[in-house]
Structure 1
Amino acid sequence: MLLMYTLKKSLGQHFLKDESICQRIVQSLEEYPFEKLLEVGPGGGALTKYLVRLPGIDFRCVELDDEKVAWLLKNYPALEGKIIHKSVLDIDPPFEGTFTVVGNFPYNISTEILFKVQEWRAQIGSMVGMFQKEVAQRVAAREGNKVYGVTSVLMQAYFKVDYLFEVDEEAFNPPPKVKSAVIRMTPLKEPVNIRSDKHLSLLVKTAFNQRRKTLRNAVKGLFEPDKLQDGIFNKRAEQLSVADFAALTFTMR
């Protein structure tokens, strides 16, 4: 008899139950070979049971919920010593060297998880993650798309983003009120050239904070008046490519 567990809305828990989706995520993961793997939020172990069987892989998972940790150890004894009992947002990189990240991410902190992966990018081989569909679309959106925004630019400046597939609500227990989608992020072999992470972040957040205005009006405090005469400032934030934003960081005050 399996030890039962409860679902906690406060932790954004929606557990995968569709085996074909789990297998598809693992297949997507294996398209980019890896030796070290971190699963974020294993929950009820739907993905974990496939991941712990992968041959020759140094596997760890990070889980905040006490009850899920106890349940996982009871049902998957191979996880002994492999569970980091914390929030992923509070941990340092769990491995030396390059590692891969996978997860059906808790939707209430999924954007924060993206920025955690960005913070670790020097060590990331790839990331395959399940997100709320709107978040996944935003990460993958290109300029000119109405959902293109801060997250799009700040992820694509460092990663190639592939929108892999969508997942129906019924694949989860309990079914979320939104559709989901799986994306893959792999570090760019040649990242865009920027003045600094800080300059890019400030520029992009300021530009999209008033996305209906022309760039000239939205970011005028960040540039000397003569720089604002450039024709690119006639555009709105959503019309600029990642490379455009990167280039502008070098002319900021």
Structure 2
Amino acid sequence: MYTLKKSLGQHFLKDENICRKIVEALPVAAGAQVLEVGPGAGAITKYLLELPGITFKAVELDTEKVQYLEHTFPAIRGKLINESFLDMQAPYQGEFAVIGNFPYNISTQIMFRILDWKEQVPVVVGMFQKEVALRIAAKHGNKDYGILSVFLQRFYDVEYLFEVHEDCFNPPPKVKSAVIRLTRLASPLPVKSEKKFTLLVKTAFGQRRKQLRNPLKGFFDKTFLQEPIFTKRAEELTVADFAALTEHML
């Protein structure tokens, strides 16, 4: 048996159809390396362990869950990493896919960690709080579009796959849930400076209701600030627009 720990944001899936759908959303080929984040009680894990021809590992912070998984699924022994995903080193040499019912309290941090490993992670399938999933998947012109959308969509194509009802979990969360898939772009958008791009996007969305000319006036010369793009608000710019603006930053 195991206990649920609110401090770790644990809400475990109990709907087998949803578990299968999540695993089926992950494209895998023979020889693929896969990392599950937060296997918990193994709802998704048991289906991942059945995938033929892959190398599988899972990272789980909760030692009690590690012991439970090793007892319940003997095939997982030697494949569990008992530490925080946010603190671990890359679990493989070469590329690996990431999948999981991500702990909602650190799901945004998980995605920034994925960005750190973007050269190694070609695909991610994850369940998130619906609000976060919408932010990641939102396109420009949408109220959910923001910093996370821009940073991730510069490198990944994002698909909003399906929503998951609260009753599919134990205990039922007080928020809606959704599953998304990120597939790495063949050609990420180049920027003149990673540091400037990050500063530009954060500053623009820091005052998202204002025309860009106001929050960004310190980043460009006065002549360039007269360009029509600066009459727009941050959420109206595409990822490509932000990337292009870095070419003109002071």
Note whether the superposition's TM-score is higher than 0.5: yes
In structure 2, the partner of 1:74 is 71
More helix by percentage: 1
Displacement of 1:21: 0.3
> Is 1:163 paired with 2:167?
no
Measured in 2, the distance between the counterparts of 1:226 and 1:89 equals: 43
> Is 1:11 paired with 2:38?
no
**Counterpart AA for 2:223:** D
Residue 33 (structure 1) aligned to one of 18, 29, 48: 29
1:185-215 Cα offsets, whole Å, 9 max, x none, are 0111111121232222111110000001110
**Counterpart AA for 1:33:** A
Residue 179 (structure 1) aligned to one of 165, 173, 176: 176
Identical positions, percent: 61
**Counterpart AA for 1:210:** Q
In structure 1, the partner of 2:246 is 249
> Is 1:43 paired with 2:29?
no
Measured in 2, the distance between the counterparts of 1:11 and 1:225 equals: 49
In structure 2, the partner of 1:65 is 62
In structure 2, the partner of 1:119 is 116
Q: RMSD of the alignment, in Å?
A: 1.0
| TM-score (norm. length: structure 2) | 0.97
> Is 1:132 paired with 2:129?
yes
**Counterpart AA for 1:81:** G
Residue 228 (structure 1) aligned to one of 225, 230, 247: 225
Contact 2:140/2:237, CA 8 A, preserved across alignment = yes
Secondary structure at the aligned position of 1:182 is classed as strand
Residue 109 (structure 1) aligned to one of 106, 109, 121: 106
| 1:201-220 pair list within 5 angstroms | 201-220=198-217
Secondary structure at the aligned position of 1:218 is classed as coil
Secondary structure at the aligned position of 1:208 is classed as helix
Secondary structure at the aligned position of 1:24 is classed as helix
Residue 20 (structure 1) aligned to one of 17, 24, 29: 17
**Counterpart AA for 1:114:** M
Displacement of 1:226: 2.4
The unaligned stretches of length 5 or more in structure 2 are none
**Counterpart AA for 2:105:** N
Displacement of 1:96: 0.7
**Counterpart AA for 1:13:** Q
| TM-score (norm. length: structure 1) | 0.96
**Counterpart AA for 1:103:** G
Measured in 2, the distance between the counterparts of 1:70 and 1:146 equals: 43
Displacement of 1:126: 0.5
**Counterpart AA for 2:29:** P
Measured in 2, the distance between the counterparts of 1:196 and 1:53 equals: 44
In structure 2, the partner of 1:98 is 95
Residue 190 (structure 1) aligned to one of 175, 187, 190: 187
Measured in 2, the distance between the counterparts of 1:85 and 1:199 equals: 36
